[in-house]
Amino acid sequence: MGFDGYSSLLSFPSVRKESAMECLKAVSAKEADIVTLDAGLAYIALMNYSIKAIMAEEYCYHKKSYDAVAVVSKEVCERNPRLNLEDFRGKRSCHPGYRTGAGWNYPIQFIVENGLQIPEPVPMSDDNMHGDESIVSSFFSETCAPSEFDGTGLCTSCGNNGSCDNSLSSIYRGYSGAYRCLMDEIGDIAFLRSDTALRLSNDGMNARNWSTKSVADFM
């Protein structure tokens, strides 16, 4: 059984690996039988390793599904009623994390499927499973996509000269962090879950102390 750096609380043997990617390789090579992943990595597991989910955690206060949305300033939409993702080529992007589902994998899939990437993505490799970093960095001028692991991700617009392994970039991790990235105006577009802006704006049920704008200020 493969785990991404966590100790097993179960009674059967585990295979310890240094990263989720190493765990995926172990399952694919039949060195392990099962691995626990978040939604973003589960997507990579399916697309790259044909590993399917057989179980999912469910919480009473969470929906079983959600929409992945791109949120931008309302002023931008008013200036261009036919706005689409192509209009944000060369702009700054905010992502909840490196290789998250709604915030990273799905936008990249949209860019690839609609032929928006220039140049063609770097071929898949062990270090760059989708060529995803090259796709994002060639489409957007700057990106804030911190990883849960220090020193990884793309953080050219998060502060501290593009470093991801510091407390400044960590405030922009997660869906709340990506929304804060947009609200702090260090990004022009944020890729979020559909309920993020509704909950975290200054008029939302989970408003934060950095929530200085209303959900009506975004679209």
Average pLDDT, the chain: 77
Give yes or no: residues 126 and 169 share one domain: yes
Give yes or no: residues 74 and 111 share one domain: yes
pLDDT, one tens digit per residue, over 146-166 is 876 544 578 888 876 666 665
Give yes or no: residues 99 and 165 share one domain: yes
Give yes or no: residues 178 and 72 share one domain: yes
Contact residues for 203 (Cβ-Cβ < 8 A; gap 6+): 214, 215
Give yes or no: residues 96 and 201 share one domain: yes
Give yes or no: residues 178 and 113 share one domain: yes
Give yes or no: residues 123 and 166 share one domain: yes
Contact residues for 69 (Cβ-Cβ < 8 A; gap 6+): 102, 191, 192, 193, 194
DSSP 218: B
CB 134 within 8 A of CB 110: no
Give yes or no: residues 73 and 178 share one domain: yes
Give yes or no: residues 158 and 206 share one domain: yes
Residue 54 lies in a domain: no
Residue 62 lies in a domain: no
The CATH number for 107's domain is 3.40.190.10
> What was the pLDDT predicted at 115?
84
Distance CA 102, CA 112 (A): 15
Listed residue (70, 74, 67, 68) closest to 213, CA to CA:
74
Contact residues for 87 (Cβ-Cβ < 8 A; gap 6+): 80
Tell the residue number behind the tokens 């692991």, with chain if given: 149
Residue 59 lies in a domain: no
pTM: 0.72
Distance CA 126, CA 48 (A): 11
Residue 162 lies in a domain: yes
Residue 85 lies in a domain: yes
> What was the pLDDT predicted at 87?
93
pLDDT, one tens digit per residue, over 82-109 is 899 999 999 999 998 877 888 888 888 8
Q: Is 68 helix (H, G, I), strand (E, B) or coil?
A: strand
Give yes or no: residues 36 and 83 share one domain: no
Classify residue 34 as left (phi > 0), alpha (psi -120 to 50) or beta: beta
Across 75-87, average pLDDT? 90
Give yes or no: residues 42 and 79 share one domain: no
Number of domains in the chain: 2
Residue 58 lies in a domain: no
Give residue 25's domain range.
2-49
Give yes or no: residues 38 and 138 share one domain: no
